[in-house]
Amino acid sequence: MLTHRNTLWPAVLLHSLLAAGFLMGWWGAWPLIASLAMHLALLAWGSATPSAGFFIGHATHVMDGSVALTYDDGPWPEHTPALLDLLKREDVKATFFCIGQRVDRAPGIARRIVDEGHAIGVHTQHHSWRWGFMRERRALREIELCARAIERATGLKPSLMRPPFGVTSPATARAMKASGLIPVAWDLRTFDTRGTDPQRLSARVLPRLKDASIVLMHDHAPGAAALSAAIISEAKKIGRKLVRLEPSMLRSVICFLLTPIAWSCAAQSGAVPVPISADDPIVLRLREQARPDARVLAEFSQEKRIKGLSQPILSEGRFAFEAPDRLRWEVFAPEALTAVASGGRVRMMERGAERPATVRERQIFLGIQRLVGSMLTGKAYGEGGMPVSFFREGRELLVELRPDQAALKSKVERIQLRFPIETLSLGEMRMLRPNGDATITRFKGAKHDAALPEGTFTLP
């Protein structure tokens, strides 16, 4: 799969070699010009083809084989109500990717979209032709302003977005990633804004409907209503279910390119992380079970994925924690090792004998102590510390912590905690580092508020 990440440095190396050869007189300028031209063509293709996932993965299919009608650029008082009337008569739900300033001008139509059961998503605040050339901060503001406009008008926080013109660039891709919204592309583009003859549009679009999943239209296009009626009729005739887009039903041809390990590939797992607010009922349940006198016992298995190693380093063990700051981390395999952290000190035992803790070991185990402690006592979900975000991913709650201090950012990119929604007991902890290394710890058999064995936090 071609992506910006895996083609950039090979292209730079090729350009450099050709430039060096030109400067040394080994060949003329044409090889370098051809190389640059092909790279520019690749970037242009990736920018204008969202389904390719060149800069960031986009959802391109509905997982259950249904068809989703999607409309961009609204709401338009002159066109959108008639389209909504049609959808209501046909009892069809659709998805509208709205421009924020148009939502501000026609909030009643935006409310009607939601009230009548349709999905609504972000299409940026101004739909500027400069979108593909915007810096990350400006692009993120365009996304956030639109999301706020939608929330003001409808009371709902959108979870989906579609970039203007379907265009992405390295900067706008970073902004889309930072927004936490799910980028949505299409696999059937009707080009309804280029034609006004409904019959010709239908003749071109309907034969492709049997293989389509997400259909791109515009609610202001002259033939949008007629084309929509034809698509609805054809879909019912061939037995295709028409649905609105939901995060849980989307999948991409590639993994969402958010982090190399942090996010599951939607095509493999069928689950897409959906941002939720800090006052969501699931998050409130998690907060309520945190206690300032928390105690826990649990077993764990751990993978350390280190750049340059073809296989992860595996270990198994168990740990005990007692608030506010006592931790015992005991590894059984591949070699026995015990660490006890308390009061800012770390003691180590290996091969049956105590030894001094290294600087690295103190950092690791005091870091685990603080993280587990803040999680069990609720500090990780409140004010202070690392900024926290919440996501629902299938049947799991995902809590993501990102450092905001430069010293910590150089060591940890983000920390993720996963909880099964049924029990909200910690299931997994991932620590991702800027260099691509990751430590994945999976917990099982956790016992909360259990009586800890005497001497748990002492060493022989």
Taking alpha carbons only, the member of 373, 241, 233, 364 closest to residue 296 is: 373
Question: Rounded to an integer, what distance in angstroms lies between the CA atom of residue 450 and that of residue 295?
Answer: 7
| Pair 262, 432: CB distance under 8 Å | yes
What distances in angstroms separate CA 376 from CA 94, 128, 199, 279, 385, one per listed residue? 42, 46, 63, 18, 14
Between CA 460 and CA 452 the distance in angstroms is 17
The answer to whether 116 and 242 are in contact (CB under 8 A) is no
* Axis-axis angle for helices 107-115, 136-154 (nearest 10): 70
Full 3-state SS string of 64-115: CCCEEEEEEEECCCCCHHHHHHHHHHHCCCCEEEECHHHHHHCHHHHHHHHH
Among this protein's residues, is 448 annotated catalytic?
Answer: no
Q: Which tokens hold the place of 82?
A: 């008639």
- Collapse the DSSP code of 236 into the 3-class scheme (helix H, G, I; strand E, B; otherwise coil) and give the result: helix
Annotated catalytic residue: which of 72, 73, 192, 219?
72
Q: Residue 424: left (phi > 0), alpha (psi -120 to 50), or beta?
A: left
User: Out of 61, 127, 218, 220, which one is annotated catalytic?
Assistant: 218
> Is-catalytic flag, 279?
no
Which secondary structure element, helix H or strand E, spans residue 316, and what is its range? strand 313-322
R_g of the chain computed on alpha carbons? 26
Return the active site residues: 72, 218
